[in-house]
Structure 1
Amino acid sequence: MRNAALELFNDRLPHKPYFSDDLHFGVRIAGKERAILAKYIQFNQPHAMFWLGFDVDRTGATIDWSDRNAPAPTLTITNPENGHAHLLYALETSIRTAPDGKMKPLRYAAAVENALRKKLDADTGYSGLLCKNPNHGHWKIAVWQPELYTLDWLADFLDLNAANNKEIVADYGLGRNCTLFDKTRKWAYRAIRQGWPEYDQWLQACYERASAYNLQFAVPLDEIEVLGIAKSIAKWTHSKFTMESFNNYVTITHSPEIQSKRGSVGGLKSSGGGRPKKDNALDTIKPWIELNISRRTFFYRKNKGAINE
């Protein structure tokens, strides 16, 4: 019998996924044809997240998402021995996690993922790299939602008050990826200009920096993921940030024509020295002295409408 969800899962696998038949012995990498036979498999591609995955370690995990008013997972992959399960939500559009991706969508995705994890009461220590392989006969699989999710659709089920915060939750799922990308690439943009190193040396520097940031998480990302992030940042910055392009940028931005334009625009905005003109009449009367408050407090209250002229 055809299973469209399982076909989608297999179509979206990386070309060379990480896999394991026993997690106690670590993971290996191989072509999809070999990895698809394993008990555990990497289900998202290195720079594109097509699935939101959650590890629910309790009996009844296959169905109790319904009792929690959570959206129906696309797939549940259940251990028949204890009832624990991985819940996978298929996304219509993948979430780009490469270092040249935009941070705003990644932050939104991280907020949705974390809110859904809370609703499901899923394991906060789950790295999200491997899941129970639904192709393996040891697990029980069930399909609940045939339609692909958008992040907005998932958000309709959730409380996303935290999504408006500037800070994301750094200790879970995409939050860790987002934070590690953000911190490492910002460091890399500056650091690469200090000597313009050869690629191998630069990759090692990026890896060491990313590893140091990763140790700051309560539950660090797997070393494989850290290396992947470091490699992506190293490769991208090494190709985009060159000594020639940087020198050209400095030459252009410091040219007499550009400096002249900046000066004329600045002069129009500042109207003499860049500082706003004082209210000479009030500075002569000095009403703040009579009110027994400072000049700064007076103008603050005046701007708020608490003091009438």
Structure 2
Amino acid sequence: MTNQALDLFNERLPRKPYFTDELQFGVRIAGKERAILAKYIQFNQAHAMFWLGFDVDRPGAAIDWSDRNAPAPTLTIMNPENGHAHLLYALKTAVRTAPDGKMKPLKYAAAVERALCQKLDADTGYSGLICKNPNHDHWQLAVWQPELYTLDWLADSLDLSAANDKEILPDYGLGRNCTLFDKTRKWAYRAIRQGWPEYEQWLQACYERASAYNLQFSAPLDDKEVMGIAKSIAKWTGSNFSKEAFDEYVIRTHTSDIQRIRGRKGGAIGGRKSNSGGRPNLGEPWIELGVSRRTYFRNKKRKGC
């Protein structure tokens, strides 16, 4: 079972993860073959979260989850020197965090993550970028749950009622990613229309905006995560927004608006009214007579009344 868990962990690693042997010296990026030898490694991909990860800094962290009635982690990676551990929960379906992802499942995942963090009494300052590498001999690995979790399965043993948007989004793990992603992409949808910049210029603008939002968090995300979010948004908006497409949209919308205005004016001139249910009323006698509005007024004109 341990080998299966390790295989799953390694299979889901980014192609070029961040890694380090000493946290105080920061992280680097390299191919999976090199990074997998390090003590710490990035365990989720830039655009998809396959794991919910928690940092529990207390002795017995790898086993006291059961005393707290928390769901069993897929695996725990413990420091044998002090008993502190990272607890990882493997998701059956990854949560999409790229700009084309939907906000509803992202916020749901953030609520589950926040509630589980509270249940485990985990470190709320943990960014979730890297974890203790279960492949490294320095750590003690234990596998507790061989089945992959769905968010609903995790939620069954958690109280999500306390995890409202104000608690979820600003201050923990996926919640910070969710907030930063949501704010920056909403800004980007408008800002890209101001000159349609070249990609490098646009990437820098997205990064600066995301960095400004990130500073509003009580525990900001790592700068590399901010850049990752900015790069995702810059690439997606750069590929899916263009001046030509926007101009076409404006023309199409403007034409549609003109047609609606003309339709309303025509209805007002002809005395046309309808109630909220869309059924004919006394202001539409041609319908009751079974003729068109045009025929009704033509006949009325002929009769001189």
The match for 2:213 is 213
Over 3 Å counting, the alpha-carbon distance change for 1:74 and 1:167 in structure 2 is closer
Unaligned runs of 5+ in 2: 277-305
| Matching of residue 89 in structure 1 with residue 89 in structure 2 | yes
The match for 1:17 is 17
Over 3 Å counting, the alpha-carbon distance change for 1:262 and 1:117 in structure 2 is farther
The match for 1:260 is 259
Count the aligned residue pairs. Answer: 271
Structure 2 counterpart of 1:259, one-letter code: I
The match for 1:169 is 169
Give the superposition deviation at 1:99. 1.2
Deviations 1:266-285 (A, max 9, x none): 979x959x9xxxxxxxxxxx
- For the 8 Å contact 1:14–1:45, the answer to whether it is kept is yes
The match for 1:107 is 107
Instruction: Describe how 1:33-48 pairs up with structure 2 within 5 A.
Output: 33-48=33-48
Give the superposition deviation at 1:3. 1.5
The match for 1:159 is 159
Structure 1 counterpart of 2:259, one-letter code: S
Deviations 1:199-247 (A, max 9, x none): 1111111100000000000000000000010011111111111110000
The match for 2:189 is 189
Give the superposition deviation at 1:264. 3.9
Q: Indicate the percent of aligned positions where both proteins have the same amino acid.
A: 78
Over 3 Å counting, the alpha-carbon distance change for 1:93 and 1:18 in structure 2 is same
Aligned-residue Cα RMSD (Å) equals 2.1
Instruction: Describe how 1:127-138 pairs up with structure 2 within 5 A.
Output: 127-138=127-138
| Matching of residue 243 in structure 1 with residue 243 in structure 2 | yes
Unaligned runs of 5+ in 1: 275-309
- For the 8 Å contact 2:75–2:143, the answer to whether it is kept is yes
Between the aligned partners of 2:163 and 2:258, the Cα distance in structure 1 is: 40
Moved more, 189-198 or 128-137: 189-198
Between the aligned partners of 1:15 and 1:50, the Cα distance in structure 2 is: 14
- Please report the TM-score for the alignment, with normalisation by the length of structure 2: 0.84
- For the 8 Å contact 1:108–1:163, the answer to whether it is kept is no
Over 3 Å counting, the alpha-carbon distance change for 1:52 and 1:263 in structure 2 is farther
Between the aligned partners of 1:166 and 1:173, the Cα distance in structure 2 is: 14
The match for 1:32 is 32
Structure 2 counterpart of 1:221, one-letter code: L
- For the 8 Å contact 1:78–1:141, the answer to whether it is kept is yes
Instruction: Describe how 1:223-238 pairs up with structure 2 within 5 A.
Output: 223-238=223-238
